[in-house]
Structure 1
Amino acid sequence: MAKTYTDKLWELAAAEVLSQESGDGEDAGDAEGGEAAGERTVFLMGSKAAGKTSILLRCLDRDEAAKPTLALEYTFGRRAAGHNTPRDIAHLWELGGGTSLSDLMQIAITATSIRSLSVIVVVDLSAPCALWATLETLLQAAQFHVEQGASQARQVGKSRTGAKHRAPAPFAARVLPRNYPDRELISPFPVPLLIIGSKYDLFQELSSDKRKVVCKTLRFVAHYHAASLVFSSIKSESLMSKTKSFFSHLAFNADMGKTVSFDSTKPFIIPAGSDSLSQIGSPPMTDVDITSLHARNPKDLWKKVYERIFPPENTSEKKEVNDPAKDPQYSEQQIDAMRAQKDQELEEYKKNATKSWKGLELDT
């Protein structure tokens, strides 16, 4: 019987665990002592229903229908570097639920994976009011888990000093070249970062002034974090081709191409290091004195300006969605009905229990 995709997935996972337990993964690692040579990890996250799964499937050339991501899902991709050469492997993690399930990042972002880790954030261009909050929340969470993984890696390195196994080299956040634009004024993300603006076809329906604000702000955020920025749409083969080039560069170290586009009337294609603060300019605010916003730093200033134009959405609904059982994405009619019945029984039990305790107090 031919092996299914799931069989191959489990074989790969089992081989990785055995390699780690035997210590072979350290000797077979790359120059930084991370995952085996030719293996990389890509962590994909972003706005809810922004098309993350569809983009991932298209980048992997998989002709299958996209399904809603359940919490955190894993897959992998393989690519041959050339004839008679081992295939490069990309471990691919996708976080569902928008910002509500960010705690699950710790499963994929570990002391082992950070040595070859890249992060992709997909933001929904057609929902500008949620864009800044999504980027800020997810990037802060991802950076926290990368720093946690780095701390764990350092502890492992210390514990193995003098042991028979070679201790892996400590994780070091990426260092930008000396000639990187505005190197002293920005805050680079600790691992390679790609920001994808999805649903560009719907984004074009916004007014010209609003599109300019979103474009200019995303340019700043991407440059501030030393990230690449590309606009995409699953309805456009040309845009998906550019998106795939950026993805393949992170997943398989493939050539990213030399195409660059800063024109706000066209889809952005901006590799990390090709933009600058002088080209981006000041925040797009004309009716309010910028000095009156009392910003603590440039990023805070851009945030205040952006949220003046695109007020953030009501967070009360987001807090409610923090419980996956209340998320309509995971709804199951029979299970939800049974859950509602049990919740009602629980409330009645609490009321009866309260009455019993009050009665005991009175008797005493």
Structure 2
Amino acid sequence: MPKGSDTLWDLAIAEVEKRESPDDDGKRLEVWEKSILFMGNKNGGKTTIILRCLEREEIPKPTLALEYTFGRRARRHNTPKDTAHFWELGGGTSLLELIRIPITSNNIRSFAVVLVLDLSKPNELWTTMEKLLQVTRNHVNKILTKLEKTNPEEATEIKQRMRNNLQRDHPDYELVDPFPIPLVIIGSKYDIFHFTSKSEALLLKARVLINHLAFGYDKSKSVSMDHSKPLFIPAGLDSLSQIGPPPASDSDIGKMCANTPLELWKKVFEKTFPPKSSCDLQDTKDPAQDLQYAEYEVDVMRAQKNQELEQYKRNASKSWKEMDFDSD
């Protein structure tokens, strides 16, 4: 029991000693921290999934930029709690530069990405997926390149961990370039294609999956590859032969110039669902400019602060350029 005279520092030391001391079985208590970045289509259901995983009964609100929350869970009674950091990128593909803030060299070993794609907006789906995954992959690869110079063994271990999702005898072993960190792709709003509500059961599956990434809970053993039902495919269990060719005639496929199966699927998909332009996808409304929120005194003060900010940025431009967000 802490004494009344204990300082905050004393309590912090006691907490660390408690975490590092052996438990009843003589084993040290392993406490971990995991981080997950949720990204995807605007209004695609990312916040709903996070709230459900954290068992919070809140009404989801639109995510304006990059938002953070966390959850804590104990694996059993009277043990220290593990911590999971949840980041959510708003704005679809309009705020790509913010991806580098949550993913750093300090947490790359325990980071995962959840990409939520809105199935009700097929014209945005492929472009959103491609842009978000490309920027994230590039940023992670830059971090791993840096890590190779300081700790090559660890960099190799991180890369090999993802490659291990595919067995060496997998037919696509040489064709696949694994995403450099754990990645889950969730197709949201599937229930609108069925005229009965299945959203609760699907959210439960998503919750089990996220809890595995965040807190190390057991993986779901569910597998579903029937395209007439919600798909649930763990990494490494599908193959190009099982997926099959895209739904197009042989003559149409023959006219398409593609170097990989993924490129071929993209061309057939975009022929069926022409993608929206980049301008349409990046049209993020600034709530500060929304007339329904107008307040004269607040707006005057905001304008003044904006001027001060611009002056500060001009005066401190050199310092801003020197800030390191693991972007090199």
**Aligned positions of 1:1-364 closer than 5 A:** 37-157=31-151, 169-170=154-155, 172-173=158-159, 174-176=162-164, 177-180=167-170, 182-204=172-194, 236-286=199-249, 288-321=251-284, 325=286, 332-334=293-295
**Cα distance 1:273–1:330, how it changes in 2: closer, same or farther (>3 A)?**
farther
Question: For 1:330 and 1:74, how far apart are their aligned partners in 2?
Answer: 27
> Relative contact order (alpha carbons < 8 A, sep ≥ 6): 1 or 2 greater?
2
**Cα distance 1:325–1:63, how it changes in 2: closer, same or farther (>3 A)?**
closer
2:141 maps to amino acid: E
Question: For 2:292 and 2:211, how far apart are their aligned partners in 1?
Answer: 34
Secondary structure (helix, strand or coil) at the match of 1:263 reads: coil
**Cα distance 1:131–1:66, how it changes in 2: closer, same or farther (>3 A)?**
same
Q: What's the CA shift for 1:326?
A: 8.0
Contact kept? 1:42, 1:117, Cα under 8 Å: yes
Gaps of 5+ in 2: 1-7, 21-29, 304-328
**Cα distance 1:331–1:291, how it changes in 2: closer, same or farther (>3 A)?**
farther
Contact kept? 1:112, 1:153, Cα under 8 Å: no
Task: Calculate the aligned-residue CA RMSD, in Å.
Answer: 3.3
Question: For 1:316 and 1:92, how far apart are their aligned partners in 2?
Answer: 28
Q: What's the CA shift for 1:248?
A: 1.1
Secondary structure (helix, strand or coil) at the match of 1:271 reads: coil
The percentage of counterpart residues that share the same residue type is 47
**Cα distance 1:331–1:149, how it changes in 2: closer, same or farther (>3 A)?**
farther
* Residue correspondences, number: 272
Question: For 2:124 and 2:57, how far apart are their aligned partners in 1?
Answer: 30
Q: What's the CA shift for 1:257?
A: 2.0
Secondary structure (helix, strand or coil) at the match of 1:278 reads: helix
Contact kept? 1:71, 1:95, Cα under 8 Å: yes
Contact kept? 1:43, 1:92, Cα under 8 Å: yes
Q: What's the CA shift for 1:37?
A: 4.7
**Cα shift readout 1:190-235 (whole Å, capped 9, x = no counterpart):** 1111000101122347xxxxxxxxxxxxxxxxxxxxxxxxxxx996
Secondary structure (helix, strand or coil) at the match of 2:35 reads: strand
Question: For 2:191 and 2:263, how far apart are their aligned partners in 1?
Answer: 29
**Cα shift readout 1:52-73 (whole Å, capped 9, x = no counterpart):** 0011100111111111112001
1:175 maps to amino acid: R
Question: For 1:61 and 1:53, how far apart are their aligned partners in 2?
Answer: 12
2:277 maps to amino acid: N
Question: For 1:38 and 1:181, how far apart are their aligned partners in 2?
Answer: 35
**Cα distance 1:260–1:157, how it changes in 2: closer, same or farther (>3 A)?**
closer
More off after superposition, 114-123 vs 247-256:
247-256
**Cα distance 1:274–1:254, how it changes in 2: closer, same or farther (>3 A)?**
same
Q: What's the CA shift for 1:292?
A: 0.9
Secondary structure (helix, strand or coil) at the match of 2:91 reads: coil
Contact kept? 1:181, 1:275, Cα under 8 Å: no
2:85 maps to amino acid: H
